[in-house]
A and B are shown apart, each in its own frame.
Chain A
């Protein structure tokens, strides 16, 4: 019996420090924020009265909150879709050996290693209508003067944000998909080729079904990360023109760390957490990312 107990106790002892640290940096702040969400914590207002669920009710009446959420979903959907298609295309290219593959692979992956804020400010220079090269390149390609004010108008600001995000994060999806593709057995493809299956048929009937769990993981990871898009928005537009490109993380940052309405910001964040959690449950089922799925 003593031996059995020590078998269970020893692993627990090894894991305890990590659990303690994790609890301190994740669970404790969450509990603190949850408690704070029931108080009117506003540095402009004396006292910190308990107000029950009033902060939560205010969230559901906050048009700007839902507008920022909508902006985030638009950017996420567009960027994620494009990143997946481009990432998959790159993975299909890189799954085959070719001369210089490794060197090119390193260059392709470089963007994801850069800090998002650095990426944002670099691309801000590229999108600059006076000095940035993008308008000049388009002028050269199209043969007529192109002077788009990329960051000054809402539609083009969205394009700028999505393209910048695409440049930075496509390599992330590419790497996950490449890992999945290289793990597929080549015999299946050989058998299909012998049976006369075309490349498109092999891709549709073999690659995609077998890659479903990997694709699901890539989309989930990237989707959850995209929800938090912040640095690129701050660097490129600060949410302007007006608040048309303000994402939910920027709006919540402003509420919490510029206007210091911590109680309301906590409630808003928890509502978002619940919403993202629901999205996660639905997404896992749809993508069938489960054992044997």
Chain B
């Protein structure tokens, strides 16, 4: 085409229109874009598998909003945490097309990619995501909750970080302070080390049991989660990056598990079979001086939202106003679980599923979700931690959010290589055996032997490459 004066004006106008549309598009939030584009799929239903129990209350509360805004239905399907891993793979391998959304924890990503379950999302992120909304996600979260090998696979909805909660009233009691300091030689405070944790728990149990125990940590399901942080904080490595020999049964691993077995002795009897609900119940009833668990307990400790019907079963808090927060000892807390939403590669509604995920993780909607009293979603955007609405939700909500943010930025990410879940289950078997009385070294040797078998089965060199990639992604050198 010859560029004469008339043509030049046409081209100029077209460029302005395109740039203007692009600018307008870029300024539109991810939430609005998702809704606008989602309307194309009005009448369709997307199936969203999620963790059952309290966690699914969040999606159940959100789904009607999305349906009203777009006309797209969301069918929420609940299952327990382990089943969420197993069933999503099983349905995909059987090519049932049962699910559209993939809800995953970062440690499952290599398994899900191996199964062919995860749809790469780069093209959708490029097309629909507001870049400022992406910048609102801390880089470490973006790397570990959204991407694998440089490709986008999911959008975060929950950043779990184990947090230490302690009873300020007991810690600040002048008599307790005097007795503790005279016995142990240092000030009674939120424990900085695992030795301090043990000593403080021992002190409270000796003084107050059976009315109050020094600490409670769930030892049933997912107990490996509480092994990870101290193990890494002590300098432990899961594998030797040169040989892929497991190192969980070395002196650091033995020390970590031995300390956990010792902790059980000053926790309530039967702690070996306690799960999340048991710990929650004991804590809210004022029967425990310290717990290490997921962040929502901090909200419920203050009675935040426990008037809702979804939380009608939660024991009334006896400790509101008396709760302090801190990271796990040694300042390293486990990112225990965490959840992102991806798209199932077998879905017939991939774009629709992506748009729902983008909407759910948008700043506006995700702030709603993390503030929902009965949902288990924890803050993960920079804007969440800084939101005035959240920081004023209860007396020391600001302290709570600052603790979560600080812990999250230095958190211990769970091992994410192929068969990570299988490795952790083997570790969990060793841990429960040790709780049941088996020699710690023998238990960990057995776990290491299982780890070797898994590594050999999948290929040592293959696993080594994944392991080194994972080390780099979490900021550790191989």
Contacts and interface: CB of A to CB of B under 8 A. Distances in A.
Given A44-B114, A152-B435, A257-B90, A242 B272 contact: no
Contacts of A204: none
Given A42-B457, A44-B418, A44-B458, A258 B425 contact: yes
A244 B436 contact: yes
Interface stretch (B182-190, B335-343, B426-434): B426-434
Nearest to B268: A130
B436 to A, nearest CB: 3
B90 A149 contact: no
A258 B82 contact: yes
Contact of B86 (A42, A129, A241, A258): A258
A153 interface: yes
A149 B93 contact: no
Question: Number of contact residues on B: which range applies?
Answer: 35 or more
Contacts of B388: none
B412 interface: no
A43 to B, nearest CB: 5
A129 B273 CA distance: 9
A240 B221 CA distance: 10
Contacts, number: 79
Contacts of B272: 149, 152, 241
B111 interface: yes
A151 B270 CA distance: 8
B422 interface: yes
Contacts of A257: 86, 90
B458 A151 contact: no
A149 B86 CA distance: 30
Nearest to A127: B273
Nearest to A254: B425
Given A242-B433, A258-B425, A44 B273 contact: no
A103 interface: no
Interface string A207-246: 0000000000000000000000000000000111111100
A24 interface: no
Contacts of A240: 220, 429, 432-433, 436
A14 B436 CA distance: 58
A257 B86 CA distance: 7
B40 interface: no
B89 interface: yes
Interface in B242-277: 268-270, 272-273
A5 B173 CA distance: 97
B443 interface: yes
A241 B114 contact: no
Interface residues of A, number: 25
B465 interface: no
Contacts of B419: 44, 259
Query: Which of A152, A238, A239, A257 has the most chain B CB within a 10 Å cutoff?
Result: A152
Q: Which of A44, A128, A153, A260 has the most CB of B within 10 A?
A: A44
Contacts of A43: 89, 93, 114-115
B472 interface: no
B438 interface: yes
A154 interface: yes
B437 interface: yes
A129 B270 contact: yes
Nearest to A149: B270
A42 B446 CA distance: 23
Given A147-B269, A149-B272, A258-B82, A45 B432 contact: no
A243 B434 CA distance: 11
A233 to B, nearest CB: 14
A218 to B, nearest CB: 34
A147 B437 CA distance: 17
A152 B431 CA distance: 12
A242 B90 contact: no
B270 A152 contact: yes
B376 to A, nearest CB: 22
Contact of B432 (A128, A241, A254): A241
A240 B85 CA distance: 20
Nearest to A152: B272
Given A152-B272, A240-B429, A259 B422 contact: yes
Contacts of A42: 457
Contact of B436 (A129, A238, A241): A241
Nearest to B114: A44
Contact of B93 (A45, A244, A259, A260): A260
Contacts of B269: 129-130, 147, 149
A45 B458 contact: yes
A79 B85 CA distance: 34
Interface string B439-478: 0000100100000000001110000000000000000000
Nearest to A242: B433
Given A154-B436, A242-B433, A260-B93, 18 more contacts: A42-B457, A43-B89, A44-B419, A44-B458, A45-B458, A129-B273, A130-B268, A130-B278, A149-B273, A152-B436, A240-B220, A240-B436, A241-B432, A242-B438, A257-B86, A258-B421, A259-B419, A259-B422
6 contacts: A43-B93, A44-B114, A128-B270, A238-B221, A242-B432, A258-B85
Interface of B: 82, 85-86, 89-90, 93, 111, 114-115, 220-221, 268-270, 272-273, 278, 418-419, 421-422, 425, 429-430, 432-433, 435-438, 443, 446, 457-459
Interface of A: 42-45, 128-130, 147, 149, 151-154, 238-244, 254, 257-260
Lowest 8 A-B CB distances belong to which pairs? A242-B433, A241-B436, A152-B272, A129-B270, A240-B432, A241-B432, A44-B114, A149-B270
